[in-house]
Amino acid sequence: MTSTPRFDARRTRSGRVVAVGIPPSLEASLNGRVELVAPDGREAATAVLVGIGRTWVDSHTGEALAYGYVDVDAASLETTAGAA
């Protein structure tokens, strides 16, 4: 049994929902289903990771991070309330 990769979910300035993670993990998950976890951890959704965007270095941890763009049409997005 394989597990679905998990990433933090965020909204860009334009309002687009993205996955946030380290670039190698996002690259390994391209074109596959990923789990997006809300900032408060109460909800999660699965979507297909379709691209990788802007990268930056987190000012608190020094870790390189990137946006992972997801396909959020009705056919690819499944939401689960109460996810940990």
The number of angstroms, rounded, from the C-alpha of 59 to the middle of its chain's C-alpha atoms is 20
Per-domain residue ranges of the chain = 6-77
Please say whether the beta carbons of 55 and 48 come within 8 A: no
Please say whether the beta carbons of 49 and 4 come within 8 A: no
Please say whether the beta carbons of 49 and 26 come within 8 A: yes
Please say whether the beta carbons of 45 and 8 come within 8 A: no
One digit per residue, the tens of pLDDT, for the chain of length 84 reads 568 899 999 988 888 889 999 999 999 999 999 999 998 988 888 999 999 999 999 999 999 999 999 986 544 445 554 443
Beta partners for residue 63, in sequence order: none
